[in-house]
Amino acid sequence: MAEDSQETTHFGYRTVARAQKADMVAQVFHSVAAKYDVMNDLMSFGIHRLWKRFTIDCSGVRRGQRVLDLAGGTGDLTAKFSRLVGETGEVVLADINESMLKMGREKLRNLGVVGNVEYVQANAEALPFPDNSFDCITISFGLRNVTDKDKALRSMYRVLKPGGRLLVLEFSKPIIDPLSKAYDAYSFHILPRIGEVVAQDAESYRYLAESIRMHPDQETLKSMMEEAGFEQTSYYNLTAGIVALHRGYKF
């Protein structure tokens, strides 16, 4: 999905200056950070845990490997990867948002996840890591908030090791029409109300619903990954395409 122009982009359904989007997204996640995990469970009826488990299962991560959990938020994937890579491996939880990174660090330390996890505040479009650094990169429900998705995908490709793989877990386009209509009604009427009651922030959850609709569909994202250099790209529709897991390799 092409951006509107070189100077503007979308923030939900609004057109904004490209230079403004990162700050606007940051405000959303500063606002929702404290209630992020609770809202994830409520919004998805807990199914997000199954989507993330499937992502872990598809990652092929093994002991001793180095993993980047990009836009890692409160660290659900990082906690699982930490156990998989063991003492000889490393997981980097990276997020552009300081509030989310702080919540992730506190949550994982409370769970006893220490030793092989590093926390880095990073912009997906310009990752602060050397070339060929990671065996696996995951970005879970984060790519749709990135201003320049093509640039971010190229950045991820650069820091992957040859033979490494990228997994993008993201909301996508439902493949069953009646479900699509029900999903729209839920997203635009019920979700903001839940956000208002639980997080005292209906507007941020209205943006999140809009950002899902503006995100590239399954085939478009697959093509974007291929244009960034990834090979053997594929995707799995989860919950009838409400969410899709894309995977691509660097050779």
Annotate 38-100 with DSSP letters as a single string: HHHHHHHTTTHHHHHHHHHHHH---TT-EEEEET-TT-HHHHHHHHHH-TT-EEEEEES-HHH
Please, where are the H alpha helices in 97-201? 98-110, 149-159, 177-185, 191-199
**Is 19 known to sit in a ligand binding site?**
no
Alpha carbon distance 45, 197 (integer Å): 16
- Is residue 46 within 8 A of residue 76, CB to CB? The reply is no
Nearest to 211 by CA among 159, 166, 170: 170
**Is 123 known to sit in a ligand binding site?**
yes
**Is 140 known to sit in a ligand binding site?**
yes
Alpha carbon distance 251, 233 (integer Å): 12
Look at residue 146 and give its three-state secondary structure.
Answer: coil
What value does the CA radius of gyration of the chain take, rounded to a whole number of Å? 17
Look at residue 247 and give its three-state secondary structure.
Answer: strand
Q: Residue 188 CA to chain centroid, in angstroms?
A: 21
Residue with tokens 């879970």: 140
**Is 124 known to sit in a ligand binding site?**
yes
Instruction: Judge residue 178's burial from the number of C-beta atoms within 10 Å of its C-beta, 0-12 exposed, 13-18 middle, 19 or more buried.
Output: exposed
**Is 202 known to sit in a ligand binding site?**
no
Detail the residues annotated as belonging to a binding site for S-adenosyl-L-methionine.
74, 95, 123-124, 140
Detail the residues annotated as belonging to a binding site.
74, 95, 123-124, 140
